Amino acid sequence: YSVAFQIGRMADSFEDDEADDNDEGPAIRRSSLSDALKNGTAESHEAAENVHFVKIYYGKIDRDLYQEMVSGLYHTYVCLESLLNSLGPKHFPTLHFAKELSRTEALKEDMEYWHGTGWETDPKCRNPSPAVKDYIDRMEEVSRMDPLLLLSHAYTRYLGDLSGGKVLSRIARRALDLTGYDGLQFYNFESIPSAVAFKKKYRIALDELALKPDQMGKLVAEANVAFALNMRVFEELDVRGKVPGARLRPVREALSYYDRIIDQ
């Protein structure tokens, strides 16, 4: 599938939002990519929080679903980080924090914890689920189309992980009766002593990026695509968990939500 058309429309609309904001607020907002990303994905963030799986999060989660979530994260970060490692240094070197952020090794440990040794050859673990596959395909597509947009995917995952990680790992530890970071290495950012300080540094680096006029809108639009694709991963877990009324929406439908926002 290609969502280039929607992305174009979303990008245009976010450019307009920036201009509107500027009429009311201080001029500095125009150039703040970190503000544009935060404000421009606020509705998506709220929608993502309201998918059943996310809402109850680990409070009632069972081990099978948690294992599936870890598999999904593993495939997602293997793809994201191999793309970031090959494109980041050239296209956005000041935002390439591989040492601090990389989750692939942590997720390998979690995969072994949850799926046992030999997980790498287990057919259950080898292939991503359909919603994760769509997410991966999109990251690969933007990497070919416009590598800078990979940054939107990095932002959506890493800043989210750093924001909610501590709380979520505590909830998961209790709900799943785990010890320390066993099975939860994903949440253990060993090279980031203070998530708050790191997020501040990341936001400053976002704001210091030299962008062409249309790039800020495109980055915000792509972050919304990243949110939608994350929502579908949770929807898929809801379907597997037999949540009444759960449904994995087709990609186009998940993105058409943003069309409605733009049409307002």
Residues of this chain that bind ligand HEM (CB under 6 A):
37-38, 45, 48-49, 54, 57, 155-156, 159-160, 163-164, 227, 230
3-state secondary structure the chain: CCCHHHHHHHHHHHHHHHHHHHHHCCHHHHHCHHHHHHHHCHHHHHHHHCCHHHHHHHHCCCHHHHHHHHHHHHHHHHHHHHHHHHHHHHHCHHHCCHHHHCCHHHHHHHHHHHHCCCHHHCHHHHCCCHHHHHHHHHHHHHHHHCHHHHHHHHHHHHHHHHHHHHHHHHHHHHHCCCCCCCCCHHHCCCCCCCHHHHHHHHHHHHHCCCCCCCHHHHHHHHHHHHHHHHHHHHHHHHHHCCCCCCCCCCHHHHHHHHHHHHHC
Shortest CB 206 distance to ligand HEM, Å: 9
Of 143 and 156, the one with the shorter C-beta distance to ligand HEM is: 156
Shortest CB 117 distance to ligand HEM, Å: 30
Residue nearest to ligand HEM (CB): 160
Of 14 and 119, the one with the shorter C-beta distance to ligand HEM is: 14
Of 50 and 122, the one with the shorter C-beta distance to ligand HEM is: 50
Shortest CB 204 distance to ligand HEM, Å: 13
Shortest CB 199 distance to ligand HEM, Å: 7
Shortest CB 221 distance to ligand HEM, Å: 15
Of 112 and 164, the one with the shorter C-beta distance to ligand HEM is: 164
Of 38 and 201, the one with the shorter C-beta distance to ligand HEM is: 38
